[in-house]
Chain A
Amino acid sequence: MERKWDYKTSLWVDWCPGCGNFGILTAVVKAFEELGLDPSKTVIVSGIGCSSKIPHFVNVNGVHTLHGRAIPFAMGIKLANPELTVIVHGGDGDLLGIGAGHFVALGRRNLDIVVIMHNNGVYGLTKGQASPTLPLGVKTKALAKPNIQQAVNPILLALASGYTFVARGYAFESTHLKNLIKMAIKHRGAAFIDVLQPCITFNDVFTAEFYRKAIYKLDDDPSWDPVVRKPEEAREKLLKSIEKSLEWGDRIPIGVFYVNEYVLTFEERLNKRLYKYPAINPSNATIEINGKSILSQQEFEELFKDYIVVVER
């Protein structure tokens, strides 16, 4: 692209003023700019929720799907055309409530997709019900009674599921978040970023003020090295990051928890079976010649000979 591409669309962004999603949008746009992503080869796939409106605000391909289902849509998009950079955005309800099964499945596959979770502790778009990341006993504004369900730990779940890049960011630490996003995009394999996102309208407990006091950067500790540098280190690094993931409350770490590039990506696993994949893939394989089958009658019969019986008179 010769001219500088504007990664922001001209649409009016209809989040509540002060919403953490603005910080995330800024970080995404900046990360794309710095990476110089080709907008026609980049796809943002989202679910449903306040957060999931983000594809409309970013000037790359956008697929705004169903509540909880962004990951399977993204998987189909990526598997069919592995050349694309595919980024999933979703809310905490979207990814860890209704879509939790898909979240786990993506980790198991280690497909080269980035998942960015807008973690606001509530179901924003349906007016503030408790989300799966809201701790037990917490009563946010719109709740009639304190939350009776326990929170799931997104970092721990991502690690347990097999994501090979796991990080946490904060919506209003835009530069830090932008760097995480860039790293996640460059990572080969399934990457997850849990983004703490204040919801100014419905979450009066986990507010910007709360986070400003609680968060600290993992990077500030020079001895923190989350990257698996040789395969034998994987277990030890994983255990350390699991331990780190348990920190919550007064001190909440942000930054990279775990990176392991020694796990085969799904594309690599497919390559062992599909031979020319990903270069030749479902989106570019020849399936017809002038509207006809690529196989002649004879070739068809050769390919499916196991089903063919020649009558012996």
Chain B
Amino acid sequence: MFILKEIGIILGGPQGAGLETSMAILGRALTRKGYGVIADREYFSNITGRHSYIHMLISSTKLPRSLGYPVEILASIDAETVFTHFKDVAEKGVVIYDKNQLDKNIDNVPSMEDYTRERIKIILARLGVNPTIENIVSYLEKERNVVPIEIDFISIIRKITERFKIDPRQASRYVSGLIVSAISIVIGLEEKFVRYGFEQQFRERRHLIEHNMALYELVYDSIATFRNIVKVDAPRIALNKLMILTGNDAIAIAKIIAGVRYQSYYPITPAADESFTIEKYEYNEVNGKAVGPIVVMQTEDEIAAICSAIGASLSGARSSTATSGPGFDLMVEGISFAGANEVPVVITYYQRGGPSTGQPTRGSQSDLMNAVFAAHGEFARVVLSSGDHVEAFHDTVEAFNIAEKYQVPVIHLLDKFLANMIASVPVPDIDRVKIERGKIVFSRSNYKRFDLSNLISPRAYLGADNIVMWHSGDEHDEYGHIVEDPENRLKMYSKRIEKMKLVLEETPSDIKMGVYGDKNPDYIIVGWGSVKGVALDAIEMLGDRIKLCYINMKLLWPFPQKEFLEIVKDIPRDRIIAVEHSHGVNIASLIAMSTGITIDRKIAKFTGRPITLNEFIEAIEKIVYRNEKRMVLAYGA
């Protein structure tokens, strides 16, 4: 038995086996005890059968921000998990597996892709290990001092189905509880916390709490000797209350608080869950205060999603839509209309792997240029990104404020990593939430919607008393009527674009970017969005050897040139490193066109899996010590 400050876990099994449930139960149980938790969910575009896994980090000292390899615990529901992840288990780690899978050969795992199978077979052949679970387990035990923990899944679950007279066809429902129990026992999480996890998860199906606790006891009896074998240290995080939620949920909650009252969507991974959560809260009363109603519309396509959101905004609702790459592509003409008609609307854009359908359930940051430049004509738009759940919460509120103050479409650019990652975070400070709706006219005769006397023409909502106004996608005059006069064109076109100057002048610096680490760094790392957590952990870990600073770019468009130049003014150009989950590391191009600074040191990852701490540190070391220019990362199954 050894005690660790933090523990990494891979928990894998077939899609449909309830891994998400396991993640939620464990996450809550651990948070209840006071640990910090973060977990990424990796899955195929498939409903049943393909390999999916949770990559989790539990910390006793802090709220974790990134994931890394190797992991202390590999908890497998099926053989494929062991084949896929055995090499990621740390020395003296633990592998939990199902006894009934012992003689499984990799050739008998039909759900595994042929490409993956061949790749793993080569690795095993090099190690001289026959491709069966039994051989891998004994290899891990002998060569890596890994502790094998064998559980007879079938017999344990049979005992439960018999005891509670459960239809045996429902047996697979108990796998998630079984694996949660096993992990809890191994890391020394007390029974009461496990119970709490089950209670929270099965609030509406209370009989399952009893079943799962009975399951816990059976698992306990079966592996009691392994109790506390990789014990995580007692928690020392000074927070008494935490939220545990996915990025989708953080943003949904933020939208509700920001005052979204119309949200449209067409189902797409990894955006749809956000709308689901909002719909769950479409109308509530708290202390007699109404929160809502929120109209959540599942539209016929993304074109209708954006167009109806713009329509709702014209009527005075705070409105938004959420999508990912393919849906955003369909929205582009609508965004152009919002630009032309100065309509506030927020588009929450969760990037996934492209092009085309690409890797629908994998993460990516390859749509930066799409978010910034897609659409014909020139007009003001704002692109904002967030580095983690807490930022995403506050930025969501800010996105609406910017949209309404400057009457522009705002694209809140996120990604699948954030969308599906669960994290334990401090409860947001609601006092920090400011709601600014911009200049609004409620009644006026001879109202001109596009009054040219100011860059921002006061907005009236459709239906305002005594106001009649026009909007048109065609170039228009101050009233909104079509006019092609060149002088009017010059004024109206410029006004719309020049609003961007105001955005740059008035947006607070912490919304533009965050700067972390050394004040006089040897190297500056620049990234945005989901890179933040791993970058911050990396600069901390490398701190005693390499002085590093991380710039977390948040306002991506209009690009905050002045502030950026100020931060990098003393650093030699060849000591800036750009990092992104993409092939092109396109943030470097955006910086180059906005500031004239060319960055030729790049860290790229486009496998669809998040950058992990181990590979990121290695990449920085290679750039610093071996003068590498471009590092392409590929860790993770």
Contact = CB atoms under 8 A, between A and B. Distances in A.
Interface of A: 9, 11, 39-41, 43, 45, 48, 53, 55-56, 59-66, 69, 71-81, 83-84, 101-102, 104-105, 270, 273-277, 280-288, 291-297, 299-304, 306-313
B134 to A, nearest CB: 40
Contact of A270 (B295, B313, B433): B295
Contacts of B431: 292, 297
Interface string B473-497: 1100000111000000000000000
B319 interface: yes
Contacts of A71: 304
A275 B462 CA distance: 24
A306 B246 CA distance: 13
Given A81-B463, A297-B431, 14 more contacts: A40-B464, A63-B311, A63-B471, A63-B472, A75-B297, A79-B312, A101-B300, A275-B283, A276-B293, A282-B261, A295-B430, A299-B286, A307-B243, A311-B240
Interface stretch (B29-37, B81-89, B553-561, B568-576): B29-37
B293 A281 contact: yes
B172 interface: no
Contacts of B436: 291
A294 B258 CA distance: 9
A72 B311 contact: yes
A160 to B, nearest CB: 15
A104 B31 CA distance: 48
Contacts of A277: 293, 295
Contacts of B315: 76-78, 80-81, 84, 282-283
A292 B433 contact: yes
B253 A64 contact: no
Contact of B314 (A77, A296, A313): A77
Interface string B245-277: 100010001000111011010000000000000
Contact of A283 (B243, B435, B463): B463
30 contacts: A39-B468, A55-B470, A56-B482, A69-B303, A76-B307, A76-B314, A79-B312, A101-B300, A277-B293, A280-B290, A281-B295, A282-B315, A282-B318, A284-B316, A285-B290, A292-B431, A293-B435, A297-B429, A300-B257, A300-B430, A303-B291, A306-B200, A308-B242, A308-B427, A309-B28, A309-B31, A309-B241, A311-B235, A312-B34, A312-B192
B53 interface: no
A195 B193 CA distance: 68
Given A79-B312, A274-B283, A292-B435, A69 B307 contact: yes
B225 interface: no
A303 B284 contact: yes
B468 A69 contact: no
Contacts of A285: 261, 290, 292-293
- Interchain residue pairs A-B with the least CB separation, the first 7: A76-B311, A287-B259, A282-B261, A76-B308, A282-B317, A274-B293, A80-B315
Given A66-B333, A83-B463, A294-B289, A287 B482 contact: no
Contacts of A9: 481
B595 interface: no
Contacts of A273: 282-283
Interface in B482-535: 482
A106 B300 CA distance: 10
B281 interface: yes
B293 A63 contact: no
Contacts of B8: none
Contacts of B470: 55-56, 61-64
B461 interface: yes
B310 interface: yes
A307 B253 contact: yes
Contacts of B309: 76
B462 A77 contact: yes
B314 to A, nearest CB: 6
B360 interface: no
Contacts of B192: 312
Contacts of A304: 243, 253
A287 B434 CA distance: 11
A105 B424 CA distance: 41
Contacts of A299: 286-287, 289
B437 interface: yes
Given A65-B307, A287-B261, A311 B286 contact: no
A77 B311 contact: yes
B323 to A, nearest CB: 14
A105 B308 CA distance: 13
Contacts of A283: 261, 315-317, 461, 463
B223 interface: no
Contacts of B297: 75, 79
Contact of A308 (B241, B462, B466): B241
B301 interface: yes
A50 to B, nearest CB: 13
Contacts of A275: 283, 293
